[in-house]
Amino acid sequence: MADNVIEFQDSRTTWQKFNEKAKDKYNASVAWCKEHKEIVMAVAPVVISGAFELAKAGMKYNDKKQERELEAEKLASVYDRSAGMYLATRRPLTNADWRRIQELKRQGYTTGEALDRLGLLA
């Protein structure tokens, strides 16, 4: 008898299952809010202002992070006017590196060639 039993697997995908659970939770929360309007009216302004503060702090953090990344990128690159482009370097250049680059430029090398001769190109 056990050989004749066919087991049907759930044909729904994981995403469909997730959507169904999310809809159930949403409907339950809407029902709770309708039943407890007084609590919702008292708590909603605090929750909404807190959400705005979190969003503002997140945007500020993201702006600062992008600024730091851009600054680090600027420190690790050199603009070559003759080539008209930025050249990536292995590390931020020191004053001694800049002096050697200027000496090589006086000898007729471009900035890119000078960086290549000094082994500073990434």
Same domain (yes/no): 18, 51 = yes
Residue ranges making up the domain that contains 108: 76-117
Q: Which residue has the higher pLDDT, 76 or 53?
A: 53
Give the pLDDT score at 120: 85
Query: Tokens in use for 94?
Result: 């020191």
Number of domains in the chain: 2
In this prediction, residue 13 has a pLDDT band, given cuts at 50, 70 and 90, of: confident
Q: Domain for residue 42, yes or no?
A: yes
Give the pairing of strands 77-80 and 85-88: antiparallel
Same domain (yes/no): 36, 54 = yes
Same domain (yes/no): 110, 68 = no
Same domain (yes/no): 58, 106 = no
Looking at the predicted structure, is the pLDDT value of residue 14 above 90? no
Same domain (yes/no): 100, 84 = yes
First CA to last CA distance, the chain: 72
Q: Which residue has the higher pLDDT, 82 or 61?
A: 61
Give the pLDDT score at 7: 65
Q: Domain for residue 94, yes or no?
A: yes
Q: Domain for residue 9, yes or no?
A: no
